[in-house]
Structure 1
Amino acid sequence: MSYRYKVASIFLLGFFIDCINIFMSAVALPSLSATLQVSSASVAWVANAYILGLTLIIALSTWLAARFGSREILTASMLVFSGSVWLCGQADSFHELVIWRFVQGIGGGLLIPVGQALTFNLFHGEQRAKISTLIMAVALIAPAMSPTVGGLIVDISSWRWVFYSTLPFSLLAAGLSWWWVREGKTAELQRPDIKGLLLVSAVLASLLMGMSLYGGDYPPLAALGFVIAGLTFIALYLLHYRRCSNAIIDLSLLRSRKLSTSIFIYYAIPGVFTGVNLMSIFFLQNTLHFSARLTGMFMILYAIGAFIAMILCGRVYNRTGARRLFTLGMLLHSAGIATLVLVNAPTDLWLIMIAYSLMGIGGGIGANTAQTTSLMDFTGGDTHKASVIWNINRQMSFSLGAALFLMIFNVLLPPLGTTPAYQATFAIAALVGLLPLLQMNQLPCAKERP
């Protein structure tokens, strides 16, 4: 195996670990919520804490890799991830679990951006579309198998084994990183932007806390206070960015229409889907009384649909271009979410199957096109910086999507009742997923030739 494919393999393994960590743990949340006696809004912090840890460390990933060497950082990150996974499974309280999930996010937050930047700097031009197809292939395998396996684990054992099951993969990633990666330290280092890092983390923490509190058993002013704090931290970061020569997030890179549009798409498709899937899991298990295993198996249909989308995108991207593919992906994805509105009883199994199939096809088209398009304008050091933005955005979209639709559901629950509140939340999500259509004219109809 050539060196560039060894590096790509490590990155793809890390991406696989991240995906199964998201989807496998999600299907265990109703069981975890019941065992630890926490509400559905609070249990979302099992995911939120992981995202906060990722955000804190992803922004430092480029500097850490340059300072200590890519091999050392990739290896250490997977060892920290492995230790925290074990401690998540050992947690005796909800707060203890949240703390170790935060540490797990710190451990996992280095492999993907560092590995992606190393990989994309080894694959150029049209080869990036090919490696992006491999990335999306991994993104199909993980959602296809992990919810079903996770549901089976929950049904026959415990949610704790959902965490333990990722240990072999993270330890393998640690070993391969140490044996295969050659990149060492960089001679010249800029001081990391610690102030900017703290501001970015404060933005995400405040917004997530505000959405988590709103609609729950907390005063509305408390939620509003956190949202205002989040907006204030955004303003402070913008002021800081203008004065800092090496800001942790280089906002100038967002002038790339390909990157900025791909980011918007990721919030509207994978981000929205994360929230919809979380609501669907609670709806199917708690309201329709499906087993965790059956709930997880719907993701197989999602993966089959996404596989069809991956094949389509790989063959037509260079001829069709991102604009048309984005539009098609959004329409199909939102149509799938809208189908969930029609689900009322366990006998509506065929509607759920259609919904997940459509979401898979539309989501696969949108996510694959965004992954291919996002970093096309960048080379060299800018690839690392853009990769930081892209991966922070990717993780934030998952967490904000879940928090947003949990908040909407909690607001709608008292006046509407359980099933209508779920259906109304799905309807709102379908509309939110179409918002990027408003800026599709900013992309060319066909892909620009290099």
Structure 2
Amino acid sequence: MELQESLVEYGARRVIITLTAVLCALLEIVDTTIVNVALNDMRGNLGGTLSEVSWVITAYAIGNVIVVPMTSWLSQQFGRRNYFAASIIIFTFASFLCGQADNIWELVFFRLVQGIGGGALLVTSQTLITESYPPEKRGIAQAIYGLGVIVGPTLGPPLGGYIVDNYSWPYIFYINIPLGVIAALMTIEFVRSPKFANKKSASEIDWWGIVFLAVAVGSLQFVLERGQEEDWFNNGHIVFFTVSAVLGFYFFIWRELTYKNPIVNLRVLKNGNLRVGTILSFILGFGLYGSTFIIPLYTQATLGWTATQSGMLMVPAAIVTAMMMPVVGQLIQRGVKQQYLVSAGMLFFFIYSFWGYKILTPDTGSEAFFNMLLVRGVGLGLLFVPITTLALSTLKGREIGEGAAFTGMMRQLGGSFGVAVITTFIARENMLHRSDLVSKLNVNDPLVQQRVDNLQKSFIGKGLSPDVALKSGYQLLDFSIAKQAIVLSYMDVFLYLGLLFLVCIPFVLMTRSGKTKIDPASVH
């Protein structure tokens, strides 16, 4: 524990290190979602197809998820300050190259590099903040870090929408450059590296572990991101990458448990708190990224809002989450059990999802979303800090970095999994609802005939010939069926997402009461 105590900072140094860490976490997370609203412009400028341009998101996620589990080990190899500064520089330089890209595959490659630099920012920021605060203030430390992690995905779309609407898409990458330069200078000046005695020579490095991890995570990410578009297991590529993901994970786990210098220390998962925290981080990622993904999608595709409008809708909820963070940090410090806070957060998330299920229509107004999203903000505030403090509370020294890597990776994987599952689910449900609605639409039904007749008359009134007016009437009827089907699909997503969180509550209460013998306030 001496190692950890020696890294505790006080006064202005602690403030500066905290600001640097939060800035880096924000840079990395905003970049995960900021490109979503710019994909259309990129496609037009760089001449790519929709499936090619979606690789801009996939490549970044693959770079992220490969590097996150290796972060703790790389910090030990090169020294935390050097590795953190190098990651910021790689991320910043790759941001510049992304803005300069001349074709879609150049952009995809630079996004992969940006993801490799960015993955380290998230986990190292968490470790830096945890170690800079004394143990009794860990709850507050995680609350400050959580601000970046929770607010980041929400800030991305409005910021991206504003830049794309007023400037051009390369500026969503250029905005990182001044912030990255400031963060790198502050890191070199203020961040201290812990003394690790176990630096490895090149011959001792777990190269096979790195290869198996990259194959496993890269393949899994590919399957999750591309599965729906490529028709899942009817596509040879998806089958190939699924098999390589399974084999990659199998050999990776075997290698890490048998090799004397593993790149990812799986043995740290013997810690009960960390195991539970890792599973809950996955569920949190699923809910956080899943709901951040579906609401802008629904408001833009179904309600016809602009990118900036749908992005701004998320801002009040993010402010509520930000306000919740220090409150929850204080509650943990005063000894409120994490399992109660997480259960309350999951209940709020269920209320938010059920509310969404009840209010969705083909023309829901922005005021209907407002209160519902505030409830989501409260729920996320109650979830993030307790899950993270619980996961890391009984770890010591270098285990903190390894634990942060696990929770960070599982949150990212949960997010990818959430987006992929939701995309697939919407597509499947849409087909089911559409065929169900069409089956109920009997052409011989007098009411249906009357509706078509009225539509035909209104089109004739606009100057169309009777046969074209009839065709237009049927097209409008078909369009309203399609819209109704998509609304029903989104309603199903909200309902099932809420039920997932509701079902978890008893498990959280059962699991943790046995394991939270040590709360963060008493770790000395």
The TM-score normalised by the length of structure 1 is 0.90
Deviations 1:89-118 (A, max 9, x none): 233433332221110011122233334334
Aligned pair partner of 2:305 in 290, 294, 297 = 290
Deviation at 1:82, TM superposition (A): 1.0
SS at match of 1:148: helix
The structural deviation recorded for 1:400 is 2.4
Tell me if structure 2 keeps the 8 A contact 1:268–1:434. Answer: no
After superposing the two structures, state which structure 1 stretch, 28-37 or 316-325, moved more.
28-37
C-alpha separation between the residues in 2 aligned to 1:5 and 1:213? 42
SS at match of 1:320: coil
- The answer for the alignment partner of 2:471 in structure 1 is none
C-alpha displacement at 1:221, in angstroms?
3.0
Instruction: Give 1:411's aligned residue.
Output: 428
Q: 1:444 maps to which residue?
A: 513
* Of 331, 336, 339, the match for 2:355: 339
Superposed, which structure 2 residues align to 1:98-177 within 5 Å? 98-139=108-149, 142-143=152-153, 145-177=155-187
Partners of 1:155 and 1:327 in 2: how far apart? 40
Deviation at 1:361, TM superposition (A): 1.1
Tell me how far 1:332 sits from its aligned partner. 1.1
Query: 2:262 maps to what in 1?
Result: 247
Mapped partners of 2:41, 2:79: distance in 1: 41
User: CA contact under 8 A between 1:335 and 1:358: conserved in structure 2?
Assistant: yes
Is the alpha carbon distance of 1:29 and 1:122 closer, same or farther for their aligned partners in structure 2, counting shifts above 3 Å?
A: same
Q: Name the residue aligned to 2:495.
A: 427
- 1:289 deviates by 0.8
For 1:438 and 1:177, the matched residues in 2 are separated by 43
Q: Contact conserved, 2:30 with 2:153, CA < 8 A, in 1? A: yes
- d(CA) in 1 for partners of 2:218 and 2:344? 33
CA distance 1:38–1:335, shift in 2 (3 Å): farther
* Counterpart-to-counterpart distance in 1, 2:395 and 2:272: 12
CA distance in 1, matches of 2:500, 2:355: 15
Give 1:362 shift: 0.6
Where structure 2 has 5 or more consecutive residues not aligned to the other structure, the ranges are: 1-10, 434-484
**1:86 matched residue in structure 2:** 96
Kindly provide the amino acid, as one letter, of the partner of residue 333 in structure 1.
Answer: F
Aligned residues: 449
Question: Which amino acid is 2:36 matched to?
Answer: A
Match of 1:209 in 2: 222
* Aligned mates of 2:111, 2:335 — CA distance in 1: 43
Taking only the aligned residue pairs, the percentage that are identical comes to 22
Q: Quick one: distance in 2 between partners of 1:380 and 1:337? A: 39
CA distance in 2, matches of 1:313, 1:42: 42
Instruction: Give the CA deviation at 1:284.
Output: 1.2
TM-score by length of 2: 0.78
CA distance in 1, matches of 2:253, 2:79: 30
- In the alignment, the residues of structure 2 paired with residue 237 and residue 249 of structure 1 have an alpha-carbon distance, to the nearest angstrom, of 9
Tell me the residue number matched to 2:405: 388
In structure 2, which of residues 6, 21, 26 is the aligned counterpart of residue 11 of structure 1? 21
The yes-or-no answer on 1:358 pairing with 2:348 is no
Cα distance, 1:6 vs. partner?
Answer: 3.4
Contact kept in structure 1, 2:285 and 2:413, CA below 8 Å: no
The CA distance in 2 between the partners of 1:115 and 1:273, in whole Å, is: 20
Equivalent residue, structure 2, for 1:276: 291
- Structure 1 residues 408 and 229, CA gap change in structure 2 (3 angstroms): farther
Find the aligned partners of 1:65 and 1:358 in 2 and give their Cα distance.
38
Alpha-carbon contact 2:285-2:412 (below 8 Å) kept: no
Aligned with residue 264 of structure 1, among 256, 279, 293: 279
Larger Rg: 2
- Cα deviation, 1:375-418, whole Å, max 9, x if unaligned, reads 11111121222222222223222222222222222333333343
The structural deviation recorded for 1:188 is 3.2
Conservation of the 8 A alpha-carbon contact between 1:77 and 1:110: yes
Q: 1:251 to 1:3 in 2, by over 3 A?
A: same
In 1: Cα distance, 2:179 partner to 2:223 partner: 35
1:69 aligns with 2:40: no
Shift of the alpha carbon at 1:12? 1.8
Task: Please say which of residues 237-246 and 430-439 is displaced more in the overlay.
Answer: 430-439
Q: Which amino acid aligns with 2:268?
A: L
Q: Does 1:348 align with 2:358?
A: no
Distance 2:503 2:44 in 1: 35
Mapped contact 2:140–2:326 kept (Cα < 8 A): no
1:304 aligned counterpart, secondary structure: helix
Answer yes or no: is 1:325 the counterpart of 2:344: no
Distance 1:205 1:436, change over 3 A: farther
CA distance in 1, matches of 2:353, 2:231: 29
- Note closer, same or farther for the CA distance 1:26–1:360 as it changes in structure 2 (3 Å cut): farther
TM-superposition CA deviations, 1:410-450 (whole Å, max 9, x none): 33333334333333233332233345335211102876344
Matches within 5 A, 1:40-79: 44-79=54-89
After TM superposition, give the deviation of residue 44 of structure 1 in Å: 4.8
Letter of the 1:208 counterpart? Q
Gaps of 5+ in 1: none
